[in-house]
Chain A
Amino acid sequence: DIQMTQSPSSLSASVGDRVTITCRASQGIRNDLGWYQQKPGKAPKRLIYAASSLQSGVPSRFSGSGSGTEFTLTISSLQPEDFATYYCLQHNGYPSFTFGPGTKVDIK
Protein backbone atom coordinates (compact mmCIF):
# COMPACT_ATOMS: atom_id res chain seq x y z
CA ASP A 1 0.00 0.00 0.00
CA ILE A 2 1.13 3.54 -0.75
CA GLN A 3 1.67 5.61 2.37
CA MET A 4 1.50 9.40 2.45
CA THR A 5 3.25 11.73 4.85
CA GLN A 6 2.74 15.46 5.22
CA SER A 7 4.85 18.14 6.81
CA PRO A 8 4.45 20.07 8.88
CA SER A 9 1.54 18.57 10.82
CA SER A 10 0.57 22.07 11.89
CA LEU A 11 1.73 25.62 11.40
CA SER A 12 0.91 29.08 12.63
CA ALA A 13 0.98 31.90 10.13
CA SER A 14 -0.19 35.46 9.65
CA VAL A 15 -2.42 36.94 6.99
CA GLY A 16 -0.26 37.73 3.99
CA ASP A 17 2.34 35.02 4.71
CA ARG A 18 3.51 32.57 2.09
CA VAL A 19 2.76 29.03 3.24
CA THR A 20 4.21 25.78 1.89
CA ILE A 21 3.01 22.28 2.75
CA THR A 22 4.86 19.16 1.60
CA CYS A 23 3.46 15.72 0.89
CA ARG A 24 5.60 12.64 0.25
CA ALA A 25 4.54 9.27 -1.14
CA SER A 26 6.18 5.99 -0.16
CA GLN A 27 6.56 5.13 -3.84
CA GLY A 28 6.23 6.97 -7.12
CA ILE A 29 2.68 8.04 -7.98
CA ARG A 30 3.37 10.08 -11.14
CA ASN A 31 1.11 13.14 -10.76
CA ASP A 32 -1.87 11.23 -9.28
CA LEU A 33 -2.27 13.65 -6.41
CA GLY A 34 -4.84 16.17 -5.23
CA TRP A 35 -4.91 18.77 -2.48
CA TYR A 36 -7.98 19.40 -0.32
CA GLN A 37 -9.01 22.03 2.18
CA GLN A 38 -11.30 21.13 5.05
CA LYS A 39 -12.88 23.50 7.54
CA PRO A 40 -14.45 22.29 10.82
CA GLY A 41 -17.79 20.56 10.28
CA LYS A 42 -17.51 20.77 6.49
CA ALA A 43 -16.68 18.38 3.69
CA PRO A 44 -13.27 18.49 2.03
CA LYS A 45 -13.00 20.82 -0.93
CA ARG A 46 -10.64 20.04 -3.82
CA LEU A 47 -8.13 22.80 -4.54
CA ILE A 48 -5.64 21.10 -6.87
CA TYR A 49 -5.86 18.03 -9.06
CA ALA A 50 -3.22 16.18 -11.10
CA ALA A 51 -0.62 17.67 -8.73
CA SER A 52 -0.61 21.13 -10.28
CA SER A 53 -3.94 21.93 -11.92
CA LEU A 54 -6.10 24.50 -10.17
CA GLN A 55 -9.69 23.47 -9.54
CA SER A 56 -12.19 25.81 -11.19
CA GLY A 57 -13.28 28.58 -8.82
CA VAL A 58 -10.29 28.24 -6.49
CA PRO A 59 -8.25 31.45 -6.00
CA SER A 60 -4.98 31.64 -7.88
CA ARG A 61 -3.00 32.15 -4.64
CA PHE A 62 -3.18 28.36 -4.34
CA SER A 63 -0.71 26.36 -6.43
CA GLY A 64 0.62 22.83 -6.52
CA SER A 65 3.80 21.28 -7.83
CA GLY A 66 5.70 18.03 -7.86
CA SER A 67 5.70 14.60 -9.39
CA GLY A 68 6.76 11.11 -8.41
CA THR A 69 7.15 11.09 -4.63
CA GLU A 70 7.36 14.71 -3.51
CA PHE A 71 4.64 17.33 -3.83
CA THR A 72 4.04 20.84 -2.57
CA LEU A 73 1.01 23.01 -1.95
CA THR A 74 1.76 26.73 -1.77
CA ILE A 75 -0.49 29.54 -0.65
CA SER A 76 1.19 32.68 -1.92
CA SER A 77 -0.52 35.16 0.42
CA LEU A 78 -2.55 33.65 3.25
CA GLN A 79 -6.05 35.06 3.65
CA PRO A 80 -8.35 34.84 6.71
CA GLU A 81 -10.57 32.29 4.97
CA ASP A 82 -7.59 29.99 4.37
CA PHE A 83 -7.23 28.92 8.00
CA ALA A 84 -8.17 25.25 7.75
CA THR A 85 -6.73 21.75 7.55
CA TYR A 86 -5.13 20.69 4.28
CA TYR A 87 -4.86 17.11 3.04
CA CYS A 88 -3.07 15.58 0.11
CA LEU A 89 -4.67 12.56 -1.55
CA GLN A 90 -2.97 10.01 -3.83
CA HIS A 91 -5.10 8.03 -6.27
CA ASN A 92 -2.41 6.08 -8.10
CA GLY A 93 -3.82 2.73 -6.93
CA TYR A 94 -7.24 2.76 -8.71
CA PRO A 95 -9.82 2.88 -7.42
CA SER A 96 -8.78 3.33 -3.81
CA PHE A 97 -6.94 6.35 -2.57
CA THR A 98 -4.97 7.37 0.49
CA PHE A 99 -4.98 10.68 2.29
CA GLY A 100 -2.08 12.29 4.01
CA PRO A 101 -2.52 12.88 7.76
CA GLY A 102 -3.27 16.57 7.27
CA THR A 103 -1.70 19.96 8.02
CA LYS A 104 -3.59 22.35 10.26
CA VAL A 105 -3.01 26.01 9.43
CA ASP A 106 -3.99 28.40 12.18
CA ILE A 107 -3.56 32.03 13.05
CA LYS A 108 -0.30 33.17 14.63
Chain B
Amino acid sequence: QVQLVESGGGVVQPGGSLRLSCAASGFTFSSSGIHWVRQAPGKGLEWVAFIRYDGSNKYYADSVKGRFTISRDNFKNTLYLQMNSLRAEDTAVYYCARRGISGSPDYWGQGTLVTVSS
Protein backbone atom coordinates (compact mmCIF):
# COMPACT_ATOMS: atom_id res chain seq x y z
CA GLN B 1 0.00 0.00 0.00
CA VAL B 2 1.03 3.61 -0.48
CA GLN B 3 3.18 4.88 2.38
CA LEU B 4 4.83 8.21 3.01
CA VAL B 5 6.98 8.58 6.12
CA GLU B 6 8.40 11.94 7.14
CA SER B 7 11.42 12.43 9.37
CA GLY B 8 13.89 15.11 10.36
CA GLY B 9 11.74 17.37 12.49
CA GLY B 10 12.91 18.82 15.76
CA VAL B 11 13.65 21.99 17.70
CA VAL B 12 15.79 24.65 16.01
CA GLN B 13 16.66 28.22 16.89
CA PRO B 14 15.42 31.16 14.82
CA GLY B 15 17.71 31.62 11.84
CA GLY B 16 18.70 27.97 11.89
CA SER B 17 18.31 25.22 9.31
CA LEU B 18 16.70 21.80 9.14
CA ARG B 19 16.23 19.19 6.43
CA LEU B 20 13.10 17.08 6.32
CA SER B 21 12.84 13.78 4.48
CA CYS B 22 9.85 11.86 3.16
CA ALA B 23 10.42 8.18 2.34
CA ALA B 24 7.93 6.75 -0.14
CA SER B 25 6.89 3.16 -0.83
CA GLY B 26 4.04 1.20 -2.36
CA PHE B 27 3.84 3.19 -5.61
CA THR B 28 6.04 4.38 -8.47
CA PHE B 29 7.62 7.36 -6.78
CA SER B 30 9.36 8.55 -9.96
CA SER B 31 5.97 9.02 -11.65
CA SER B 32 4.36 11.17 -8.96
CA GLY B 33 4.49 14.84 -8.09
CA ILE B 34 4.77 15.42 -4.34
CA HIS B 35 3.74 18.32 -2.10
CA TRP B 36 4.86 19.59 1.28
CA VAL B 37 2.01 20.95 3.40
CA ARG B 38 2.21 22.33 6.92
CA GLN B 39 -0.09 22.93 9.84
CA ALA B 40 0.79 25.30 12.67
CA PRO B 41 -0.39 24.20 16.13
CA GLY B 42 -4.15 24.59 16.36
CA LYS B 43 -4.36 26.14 12.89
CA GLY B 44 -5.42 25.19 9.40
CA LEU B 45 -3.47 23.63 6.54
CA GLU B 46 -1.07 25.56 4.31
CA TRP B 47 0.49 24.43 1.05
CA VAL B 48 4.29 24.90 1.15
CA ALA B 49 5.92 23.48 -1.97
CA PHE B 50 5.56 21.06 -4.89
CA ILE B 51 7.99 19.18 -7.10
CA ARG B 52 7.13 17.49 -10.36
CA TYR B 53 7.69 13.75 -10.79
CA ASP B 54 11.06 14.23 -12.47
CA GLY B 55 12.23 17.20 -10.41
CA SER B 56 12.14 19.46 -13.47
CA ASN B 57 9.94 22.11 -11.87
CA LYS B 58 9.58 23.28 -8.30
CA TYR B 59 7.04 25.65 -6.84
CA TYR B 60 6.85 27.46 -3.50
CA ALA B 61 4.43 29.42 -1.38
CA ASP B 62 5.39 33.08 -1.07
CA SER B 63 5.86 32.59 2.67
CA VAL B 64 8.83 30.23 2.15
CA LYS B 65 10.22 31.30 -1.24
CA GLY B 66 13.95 31.93 -1.08
CA ARG B 67 14.31 30.11 2.25
CA PHE B 68 13.06 26.57 1.55
CA THR B 69 14.19 24.19 -1.19
CA ILE B 70 12.30 21.09 -2.27
CA SER B 71 14.18 18.26 -3.95
CA ARG B 72 13.89 14.54 -4.61
CA ASP B 73 16.00 11.46 -5.22
CA ASN B 74 14.07 9.06 -7.43
CA PHE B 75 16.66 6.33 -6.89
CA LYS B 76 16.13 6.47 -3.14
CA ASN B 77 12.35 7.11 -3.39
CA THR B 78 12.81 10.07 -1.08
CA LEU B 79 11.62 13.67 -1.04
CA TYR B 80 13.39 16.43 0.84
CA LEU B 81 12.69 19.90 2.19
CA GLN B 82 15.71 22.00 3.08
CA MET B 83 14.59 24.78 5.39
CA ASN B 84 16.93 27.73 6.02
CA SER B 85 16.54 31.02 7.88
CA LEU B 86 13.79 29.51 9.99
CA ARG B 87 11.35 31.76 11.80
CA ALA B 88 8.99 31.23 14.70
CA GLU B 89 6.07 31.26 12.26
CA ASP B 90 7.52 28.19 10.51
CA THR B 91 6.66 26.14 13.59
CA ALA B 92 4.27 23.45 12.35
CA VAL B 93 3.71 19.82 11.56
CA TYR B 94 5.04 19.23 8.06
CA TYR B 95 3.35 16.65 5.85
CA CYS B 96 4.35 15.25 2.49
CA ALA B 97 1.45 14.34 0.23
CA ARG B 98 1.25 12.70 -3.18
CA ARG B 99 -0.48 14.54 -5.98
CA GLY B 100 -3.36 12.34 -7.08
CA ILE B 101 -4.46 11.77 -10.67
CA SER B 102 -7.43 14.08 -10.17
CA GLY B 103 -5.08 16.88 -9.04
CA SER B 104 -5.78 16.93 -5.31
CA PRO B 105 -3.37 15.20 -2.91
CA ASP B 106 -4.50 11.65 -2.23
CA TYR B 107 -2.04 10.05 0.23
CA TRP B 108 -0.37 11.82 3.13
CA GLY B 109 2.40 10.97 5.54
CA GLN B 110 1.91 11.11 9.31
CA GLY B 111 3.80 14.39 9.61
CA THR B 112 6.90 15.61 11.43
CA LEU B 113 6.93 18.48 13.92
CA VAL B 114 9.26 21.43 13.45
CA THR B 115 9.57 23.85 16.35
CA VAL B 116 11.45 27.11 15.87
CA SER B 117 12.25 28.56 19.27
CA SER B 118 15.11 30.05 21.23
Contact = CB atoms under 8 A, between A and B. Distances in A.
Given A87-B44, A95-B59, A46 B50 contact: no
Contact of A94 (B45, B103, B105, B109): B103
A74 interface: no
B110 interface: yes
A43 B95 contact: yes
Contact of B109 (A43, A46, A55, A87): A43
A96 B58 CA distance: 11
Interface residues of B, number: 22
A44 B45 contact: yes
Interface residues of A, number: 25
A44 B44 CA distance: 11
Interface of B: 33, 35, 44-47, 50, 52, 59, 61, 95, 99-100, 102-106, 108-111
Interface stretch (A16-24, A65-73, A75-83, A98-106): A98-106
Given A43-B109, A44-B108, A96-B50, A87 B45 contact: yes
